[in-house]
Amino acid sequence: MNDARRISVLHITDLHLFAEQGRELLGVVTDASLEAVLDLALAEATPDALLVTGDVTQEGDAGAYQRASDIVAQRFSGPSLWLPGNHDLGTAMQAAGPGMDRLELGDWLIVAIDTHVDGEVSGHIDAAEFECLEGLLTRAKAPHVLVCGHHPPVPVGTSWLDTQVIDNAAQLLAMLERHERVCGYLFGHIHQAFEAMHGRLRIIASPSTCFQFEAGSEQFAVSGLSPGYRWLNLRADGSIETTVHRVERIRVQPIRRKRGY
C-alpha cells in the first residue's frame, strides 16, 4: 500500500450557527465553539478536504450560512463539501452556496447526498436524489467512494434518535452495497461519535462542533463531552483509518429534559 497516496479529510458536523454572533444553544456558544474546533484541528494538520455534514445553521437563515462560510474560509482554503441537515433550509443553503456536493481526490470520490426534508426532523431520500446517486456511482472512475449524508442509515443505540433514521435507509444501503467501490457512509445528526459495519461498509458518525447528545440515552439528554471533530485517512487500498478529537478546554454542562431543542 502506498501511504503517500492517502487522502486526509477533516469531518465537522452539526455547527448550529445563528445569524447573530455569540448566540448560545444548550450551553454552548456555537460560533465560538466552531472556531475553536477549526483552530485546534487545523493546528494539527492541513487536510486535503473538509466535509461538513449538515445542521450548518440552527434556523436556516442566509446570514448564518454566510457566517459559517466566512469562519471556514478564514482558516481553510482547500476543497470542502457541504450538505444540509434537518435544521437547514435547502433553498437558503443553496443560495449561500458554500462548497461542493462531490469531490474527487486521488483514488477517492466523496459524494454528498441530501437526506433532509425542510421542516422535518427525520431523514428521507427522494427519488431524484437516488437517481443522481445511482448515476454517480455507476459512472465513478475512482476506485473508492465515500458517501456522506446528514441522517443515520442504521439505529445508533440512542432510542430517541433512532426514531429519526432515514426512513428509506434500506434502499440506500442496498444501493451502496451493490456498488462495490463504496467503502463507507459518513454522517452527522446524532451529535456523538459512532462506528459500525454494515456488510463491508464502514458506517461512521462524528461529534458535533458544539453540544453532544448522551449516547445510549432513552430521552433527550446533552452529555458533558466537549465539542469534537474527526480525522479520516482514506487509503489507496480503500481502507479508512479514523480518530475523533475534542476541544477539551470547552466544558459543557449535561442537560436532561423530556423535550428536544
**Footprint of Fe ion (CB under 5 A):** 14, 55
**Looking at beta carbons only, is 48 or 88 nearer to Fe ion?**
88
- Grid coordinates representing 177 are 452495497
- Grid coordinates representing 205 are 458518525
CB of 176 to Fe ion, least distance (A): 23
- Grid coordinates representing 131 are 437517481
CB of 15 to Fe ion, least distance (A): 8
CB of 226 to Fe ion, least distance (A): 16
Identify the CA nearest to 6 among candidates 77, 101, 105, 88: 105
103 touches 83 (CB < 8 A): no
CB contact set of 45 (below 8 Å; sequence gap of 6+): 8, 231
Question: Rounded to whole angstroms, how far apart are CA atoms 135 and 200?
Answer: 21
CB of 174 to Fe ion, least distance (A): 26
**Looking at beta carbons only, is 61 or 104 nearer to Fe ion?**
61
**Looking at beta carbons only, is 48 or 55 nearer to Fe ion?**
55
Residue 82 is which amino acid?
Answer: W
**Looking at beta carbons only, is 132 or 244 nearer to Fe ion?**
244
